[in-house]
Homo-oligomer: A and B are copies of this chain.
């Protein structure tokens, strides 16, 4: 029996596990959430009764906001346990290449490493009315460091990936679907039933074939460890520059890392300095 974690609530139905992220006030991806993700993945991988894991959010406004930029060294350290090195991107890549089938059921905002987390999931379905997507890193001077560059370039192509990341803008679910960022945008009131039904369906098909299939798809579509590592290092290097630090400081003065201040983060970044 899986116990709830500090930032993730668990609910099992057959061989589907629903993992609901609950880290008030805005589901920041900090050391606690990374620690809990590592613990969750480890436990679940060892438990052959679980086949599919559905990630949801307890917060209607934020699925995962982004990393806690004040605690980068700490949360990276927690990733080491599974990734073998202190890289969030490699932790996410570990999830992608797991035998577990992961589905992100997205409502609210999912930006930065939050977007990179859902990109690492095997599938992404979002509430058409409420989901908002963004890779805001370039608004500060950062490079997306946890796989966003790798996934978006392959899913959306050169022009759209450059637009998404260079603009650091917010995208609604409908446009995210058109660009290939997510599988599909669905009406919010149908999302829960759709994902639940899909998860249960997949959980009943033979596991051995699923494992082989994921390996074959990933041989074509999943970027190498080296590529993830290099993006991770670029993120750190960009964060060490004076310009990035100054813009990050300015963002904090405009409400960065507060639920109200990030409602319209895309706009805020355009108005900084």
Judge if A1 is at the interface, Cβ distance under 8 Å: no
Per-position contact with B for A141-171: 1 when CB-CB < 8 Å, else 0? 1110000011101110111111101111100
**Size bracket, chain A contacts:** 35 or more
Counted per complex, copies of this chain come to 3
Q: Which residues of the other chain, B, contact A149 by a CB distance below 8 angstroms?
A: 213, 216-217, 220
Nearest-neighbour CB distance to chain B for A68, whole angstroms, equals: 20
Interface residues of A in 99-154 (CB under 8 A from B): 101, 121-124, 137-143, 149-151, 153-154
Q: Which residues of the other chain, B, contact A124 by a CB distance below 8 angstroms?
A: 159
A155 touches B166 (CB 8 A): no
Give the secondary structure class of A's interface. Answer: helix
Instruction: From known contacts A165-B213, A167-B198, infer whether A122 and B206 are also in contact, taking CB-CB under 8 Å.
Output: no
Q: What is the CA–CA distance of A101 and B244 in the complex, to the nearest angstrom?
A: 19
Chain B, residue nearest A234 (CB) = B212
By a beta-carbon cutoff of 8 Å, the part of chain A in contact with chain B is: 101, 121-124, 137-143, 149-151, 153-155, 157-163, 165-169, 177-178, 180, 182-183, 198, 201-202, 204-206, 208-210, 212-214, 216-218, 220-223, 230-231, 234, 237-238, 241, 243-244, 247, 270, 273
